[in-house]
């Protein structure tokens, strides 16, 4: 038995998805509107910077609520809601041990604060978990992956309000009570540290609804999320002893531009701010540096009596993270690239893809060592992948060697880090099946080993087919990565 109750047995190989990107059926089964249902598709020529697409203001928010005609790809997803049996059978065929998925909060509480949960929504996830367990696949559930019932934004401006803590803990408690025999692995929020880059996506905040400085609002909302996560962790331990709670962040490792001490300091500072929420979740306290920063900026982050105790007493069991790329912070360069979440100076040693994301498999190994040294809790690679445009050959085959190269190079680095002593519980690629992109709402940007015949406008049969990478990943899992060595 290892620390934190995590027992080393089978390495958890699998893949990850999010309800808002795959389920579709956005108003079926009693579901209410969620923040992601309001994100419209923007054609590439009108797109501009990724953060612009992911941001939201009150005017667009109100208009999208009434718009039933527009192209909102997350409303239709890939129809996992109706096709989950077929999809799970494909995951099982690849030999998955774990499937990271999320629950759509608005399926359980359509407006976020009803007196009773929506039984039809609960039944849907019962059916999904049963289907996974039938094949011996462990569900790893993110309680809130980038979506919040719109009713809670209307009432509270979402995580800006302390009321959200109770609403979230009630929702989480319903999940723990209902699924206690079925789900062992939980994560409270997806990528909790990205709130600084996408406050609407991550926390449902409309920045124009308050006079407070944007960054102060983001840290206030983050504090509410951290307290909510800690209180949910306490509930999980009470209701499901033996279940494990894992923090989940995006790991965007910052490299110094060169060995000039000022640049080292700049990269170190960026890394420290990016990790601050995880310091709270794993170590149980805010880092001094962040508290000093609040003081320096004059930010008044309202914390109630008892909050710091709750954070200290309910730290997580493991640390999950998504890994897509690394970046180089710069104060004065025009030669920049947008990473999955942040913009930085172009790193001349790394290739860039069509969406501006640089590929850096060694950075994953660096990150694993860094995080293990800093936190000493088991790590879980909760997302790793890269979007590509796939071409279906005349014979219907998809020869995605680029995906095999990308994932293979990252998995190799993970295996090396493990050989060097880092404890890694599992690896879930993003995403095993093509689904709607979180940032650009495209289908064209594909991550899966299973192809889904749908385009950006929603045209297509929805038919699933196996890409070349499907058989490759199956072999990786069957050999526990040995085939890559």
Where in the sequence numbering do the catalytic residues fall? Answer: 191, 383
Nearer to ligand BG6, 314 or 431 (CB): 431
Nearer to ligand BG6, 39 or 232 (CB): 39
Taking a C-beta distance cutoff of 8 angstroms, is the pair 226, 277 a contact?
Answer: yes
Residues 411-430 that bind ligand BG6 (CB under 6 A): 430
Picking from 316, 375, 23, 324, the residue whose alpha carbon sits closest to that of residue 185 is: 316
Q: Of the listed pieces 2-10, 88-96, 203-211, 436-444, which binds ligand BG6 according to CB under 6 A?
A: 436-444
Nearer to ligand BG6, 158 or 250 (CB): 250
Q: Which residues of 225-234 are buried (b: 16+ CB within 10 A; e: fewer)?
A: bbbbbbbbbe
Q: How far is the CB of 306 from ligand BG6 (least distance, A)?
A: 31
* Interaction of residue 77 with ligand BG6, rule CB under 6 A: no
- Residues 327-346, mask of contacts with ligand BG6 (x by CB under 6 A): -------------x------
Q: How far is the CB of 1 from ligand BG6 (least distance, A)?
A: 31
Q: How far is the CB of 324 from ligand BG6 (least distance, A)?
A: 6
Q: Of the listed pieces 291-299, 368-376, 431-439, 455-463, which binds ligand BG6 according to CB under 6 A?
A: 431-439
Taking a C-beta distance cutoff of 8 angstroms, is the pair 398, 389 a contact?
Answer: no
Nearer to ligand BG6, 17 or 174 (CB): 17
Q: Of the listed pieces 150-158, 295-303, 437-445, 450-458, which binds ligand BG6 according to CB under 6 A?
A: 437-445
Residues 213-252 that bind ligand BG6 (CB under 6 A): 250
Q: How far is the CB of 437 from ligand BG6 (least distance, A)?
A: 4
Alpha carbons 286 and 311: distance in angstroms, whole number: 9
Residues 133-162 that bind ligand BG6 (CB under 6 A): 146
* Interaction of residue 439 with ligand BG6, rule CB under 6 A: yes
Q: How far is the CB of 197 from ligand BG6 (least distance, A)?
A: 10
Nearer to ligand BG6, 131 or 191 (CB): 191
* Interaction of residue 204 with ligand BG6, rule CB under 6 A: no
Of the residues 271, 413, 437, 469, which one makes contact with ligand BG6 according to CB under 6 A: 437
Q: How far is the CB of 386 from ligand BG6 (least distance, A)?
A: 8
* Interaction of residue 202 with ligand BG6, rule CB under 6 A: no
Nearer to ligand BG6, 144 or 190 (CB): 190
* Interaction of residue 358 with ligand BG6, rule CB under 6 A: no
Q: How far is the CB of 320 from ligand BG6 (least distance, A)?
A: 11
Residues contacting ligand BG6: total by CB under 6 A? 16
Q: Under 8 Å CB-to-CB from 123, ≥6 apart: which residues?
A: none
Q: How far is the CB of 111 from ligand BG6 (least distance, A)?
A: 24
- Residues 372-411, mask of contacts with ligand BG6 (x by CB under 6 A): -----------x---x------------------------
Nearer to ligand BG6, 187 or 377 (CB): 187
Three-state secondary structure string covering the chain: CCHHHCCCCCCEEEEECCHHHHCCCCCHHHCCCEHHHHCCCCCHHHCCCHHHHHCCCHHHHHHHHHCCCCCCHHHHCCCHHHHHHHHHHHHHHCCCCEEEEECCHHHHCCCCCCCCCCHHHHHHHHHHHHHHHHCCCEEEEEEECCCCEHHHHHHHCHHHCCHHHHHHHHHHHHHHHHHCCCCCEEEEECCHHHCCCCHHHHHCCCHHHCCCCHHHHHHHHHHHHHHHHHHHHHHHHHHCCCCEEEEEEEEEEECCCCCCHHHHHHHHHHHHHHHHHHHHHHHCCCCHHHHHHHHHHCCCCCCCCCHHHHHHHCCCCEEEEEEEEEEECCCCCCCEEECCCCEEECCCCCCECCCCCECCHHHHHHHHHHHHHHHCCCEEEEEECCCECCCCCCCCCCCCHHHHHHHHHHHHHHHHHHHCCCCEEEEEEECCECCCCCCCCCCCCECCCEEECCCCCCCCCCCEEECHHHHHHHHHHHCCCHHHC
Instruction: Show the CA angle centred on residue 10, arms to residues 434 and 467, nearest 5°.
Output: 25
Residues 301-330 that bind ligand BG6 (CB under 6 A): 322
Nearer to ligand BG6, 23 or 307 (CB): 23
Name the residue number minimizing CB distance to ligand BG6.
Answer: 439
Residues of this chain that bind ligand BG6 (CB under 6 A): 18, 21, 146, 190-191, 250, 322, 340, 383, 387, 430, 437-440, 445
């Amino acid at each position: 038995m290892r620390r934190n109750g995590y027992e080393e047995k089978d390495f958890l190989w699998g893949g990850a998805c999010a309800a808002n990107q795959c389920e579709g059926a956005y108003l079926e089964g009693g579901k209410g509107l969620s923040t992601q249902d309001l994100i419209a598709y923007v054609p590439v020529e009108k797109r501009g910077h990724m953060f612009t697409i992911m941001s939201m203001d009150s005017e667009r928010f109100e208009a999208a609520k009434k718009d039933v005609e527009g192209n909102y790809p997350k409303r239709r997803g890939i129809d996992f809601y109706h096709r989950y049996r077929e999809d799970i059978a494909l995951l099982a065929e690849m030999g998955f041990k774990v499937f990271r998925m999320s629950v759509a909060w608005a399926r359980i509480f359509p407006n976020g604060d009803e007196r009773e949960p929506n039984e039809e929504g609960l039944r849907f996830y019962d059916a999904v978990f049963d289907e996974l367990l039938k094949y011996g696949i462990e569900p790893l559930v993110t309680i809130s992956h980038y979506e919040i019932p719109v009713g809670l934004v209307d009432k509270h401006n979402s995580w800006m309000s302390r009321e959200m803590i109770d609403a979230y803990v009630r929702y989480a408690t319903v999940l723990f009570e209902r699924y206690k025999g079925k789900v062992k692995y939980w994560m409270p929020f997806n990528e909790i540290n990205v709130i600084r880059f996408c406050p609407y996506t991550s926390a449902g905040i409309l920045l124009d609804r308050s006079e407070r400085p944007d960054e102060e609002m983001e840290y206030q909302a983050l504090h509410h999320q951290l307290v909510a996560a800690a209180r949910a962790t306490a509930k999980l331990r009470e209701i499901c002893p033996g279940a494990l709670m894992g923090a989940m962040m995006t790991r965007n490792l910052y490299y110094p531009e060169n060995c000039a001490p000022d640049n080292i300091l700049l990269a170190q500072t960026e890394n420290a701010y990016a990790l601050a929420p995880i310091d709270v979740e794993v170590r149980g306290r805010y880092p001094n540096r962040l508290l000093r920063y609040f003081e320096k900026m004059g930010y008044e982050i309202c914390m109630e009596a008892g909050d710091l105790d709750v954070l200290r007493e309910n730290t997580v069991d493991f640390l999950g993270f998504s890994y897509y790329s690394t970046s180089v912070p710069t104060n004065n360069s025009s030669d920049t690239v947008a990473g999955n979440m942040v913009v930085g100076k172009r790193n001349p040693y790394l290739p860039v893809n069509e969406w501006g994301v640089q590929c850096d498999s060694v950075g994953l190994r660096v990150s694993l060592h860094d995080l293990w040294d800093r936190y000493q809790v088991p790590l879980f690679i909760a997302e790793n992948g890269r979007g590509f445009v796939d071409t279906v050959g005349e014979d219907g085959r998809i020869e995605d060697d680029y995906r095999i190269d990308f994932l293979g190079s990252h998995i190799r680095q993970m295996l090396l880090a493990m050989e060097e002593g880092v404890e890694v519980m599992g690896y879930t690629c993003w995403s095993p099946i093509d689904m709607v992109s979180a940032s650009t709402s495209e289908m064209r940007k594909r991550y899966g080993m299973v192809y889904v015949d749908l385009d950006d406008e929603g045209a297509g049969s929805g038919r699933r087919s196996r890409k070349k990478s499907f058989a490759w990943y199956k072999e990786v899992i069957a050999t526990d990565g040995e085939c890559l060595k």
